[in-house]
């Protein structure tokens, strides 16, 4: 099934410098946000206590409530609506001391909240110690790095080093852009976000492999076609499949965003952005980079004498 005409001939490679500038702006902006604003780490990474409550009356005064919470001498307590005006999420930083001190802090918080509302429904109470948080942060970083490394090794063995180098750039592009989104919006960055980044990397590399596979097939088939034309043809031939996969995945994610609730909203936000940026990088980043990497037709096609064909015509 094609959602685009079979004779589509969009000049993706001709626009490579424009998209490279756009990608550079995205990457530099993401790194700038990461340095200046940083990430809003969740309880998973920072340690502390997270409390979700539903209250009556349904329109609490958040300003007065924040003032009262920060007057409890529990540190900088964070308060935000969690989907509805009467559904609140409270983060209490880690207290100095043992588990009894954390329990006492939670009891102080509950006493204050019970005195402010007619009814308080405690829907969720989570506690993570600082050592556990640091360990989770380290393991999350290792998970991302080793997963990306494994994907790159796979690309290296399946294709040639030029394709692996292009895939490296595309994966870094997608991962940095996603992290930059969280730095810009200050959405909570937690373990589910790490899982989302891994899924985005997998989706992006899958899209890239499909395009690379067609490029390799065309390199074997068209010995004399200029490389720019060959790359454009390959991208256009796989464009319907790329768009169809992205659209159907986005439809599922939009349904999950609409009906899944606030608990997974950050996870789904990351995936929606990642699908879009991953599709973009497969077409406008990974493939155009091959024009600078000196692909040899003989090495790609597996001919006994690769010197006969020489380098791809530019």
Is pLDDT above 90 for 76? no
Residue 185, pLDDT above cutoff 80: yes
Residue 209 is part of a domain; what is its CATH number? Answer: 1.20.1640.10
The span from the CA of 141 to the CA of 107, in Å, is: 34
- 111-118 long-range CB contacts below 8 Å, 24 or more apart? 112/68, 112/69, 112/72, 113/53, 113/55, 116/55, 116/60, 116/65, 116/68, 117/55, 117/56, 117/57, 117/60, 118/55, 118/56, 118/57
Strand 119-128 with 188-189, pairing:
unpaired
Last residue of a domain, one of 104, 128, 152: 128
Instruction: Examine the domain organization and report whether 293 and 157 are in the same domain.
Output: yes
Domain boundary at 88, 113, 128, which?
128
The verdict on 22 and 159 lying in the same domain is yes
CA-based nearest residue to 188, from 297, 307, 294, 39? 39
User: Is residue 30 domain-shared with residue 156, that is, in the same domain?
Assistant: yes
Residue 86 maps to a domain? yes
User: For residue 56, what are the contacts with CB-CB under 8 A and spacing of at least 6?
Assistant: 86, 117, 118, 119
What pLDDT is stored for residue 303 in this prediction?
Answer: 46
C-beta of residue 7 within 8 angstroms of C-beta of residue 245: no
CA–CA gap between residue 264 and residue 163 (Å, rounded): 35
Quote the pTM value.
0.74
Residues 222-241 have pLDDT tens digits of 878 888 888 889 898 888 88
Does residue 94 surpass a pLDDT of 90? no
Query: Are both 117 and 167 inside the same structural domain?
Result: no
- Are 58 and 189 found together in one domain? no
Give the H/E segment covering residue 143.
Answer: helix 130-158
Residue with more model confidence, 42 or 112: 112
Residue 33 belongs to what domain range?
Answer: 13-40+133-301
Confidence of residue 251 (pLDDT cuts 50, 70, 90): very high
Collect contacts of 292-299 with beta carbons under 8 A, ≥24 apart: 293/162, 293/165, 293/166, 294/162, 295/160, 295/162, 295/219, 295/227, 297/219, 297/220, 297/223, 299/160
Higher pLDDT, 166 or 132: 166
Residues 181 and 209 placed together within one structural domain of the fold: yes
Q: What's CA 126's distance to the chain center, in Å? A: 25
**C-alpha–C-alpha distance, residues 76 and 92, integer Å:** 7
pLDDT, position 304? 44
Task: Look at the chain and report how many structural domains it folds into.
Answer: 2
Task: Give the end of a domain, one of 128, 143, 160.
Answer: 128
Average pLDDT over residues 113-118: 84
Task: Judge whether 308 lies within some domain.
Answer: no
Specify whether 155 is located in the same domain as 96.
Answer: no
Mean pLDDT for 263-275 is 86
Residue-wise pLDDT for 40-59, tens only, equals 887 777 778 888 888 887 67
């Amino acid at each position: 099934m094609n959602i685009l005409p079979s004779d589509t001939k969009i000049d993706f490679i001709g626009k490579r410098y424009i998209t490279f500038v756009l990608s550079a702006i995205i990457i530099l902006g993401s790194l700038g946000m990461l340095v200046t604003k940083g990430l809003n780490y969740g309880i998973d990474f920072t340690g502390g206590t997270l409390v979700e409550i539903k209250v009556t009356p349904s329109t609490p005064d958040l300003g007065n409530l924040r003032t009262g919470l920060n007057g409890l001498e529990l540190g900088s307590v964070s308060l935000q609506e969690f989907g509805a005006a009467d559904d609140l999420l409270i983060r209490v930083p880690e207290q100095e001391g043992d588990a009894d001190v954390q329990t006492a802090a939670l009891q102080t918080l509950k006493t204050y909240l019970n005195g402010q509302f007619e009814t308080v429904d405690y829907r969720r109470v989570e506690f993570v110690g600082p050592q556990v948080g640091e360990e989770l942060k380290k393991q999350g970083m290792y998970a991302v790095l080793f997963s990306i490394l494994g994907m790159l090794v796979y690309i290296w063995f399946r294709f040639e080093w030029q394709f692996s180098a292009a895939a490296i750039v595309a994966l870094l592009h997608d991962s940095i852009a996603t992290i930059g989104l969280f730095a810009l919006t200050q959405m909570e960055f937690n373990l589910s976000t790490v899982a989302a980044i891994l899924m985005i990397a997998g989706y992006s590399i899958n899209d890239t492999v499909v395009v690379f596979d067609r490029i390799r097939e065309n390199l074997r088939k068209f010995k004399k076609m200029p490389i720019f034309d060959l790359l454009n043809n390959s991208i256009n031939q796989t464009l319907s499949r790329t768009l169809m996969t992205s659209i159907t995945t986005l439809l599922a994610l939009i349904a999950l965003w609409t009906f899944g609730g606030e608990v997974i909203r950050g996870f789904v936000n990351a995936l929606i952005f990642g699908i879009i940026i991953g599709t973009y990088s497969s077409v406008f980043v990974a493939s155009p980079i091959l024009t600078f990497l000196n692909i040899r037709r003989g090495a790609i096609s597996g001919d006994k004498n690769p010197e006969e064909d020489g380098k791809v015509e530019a």
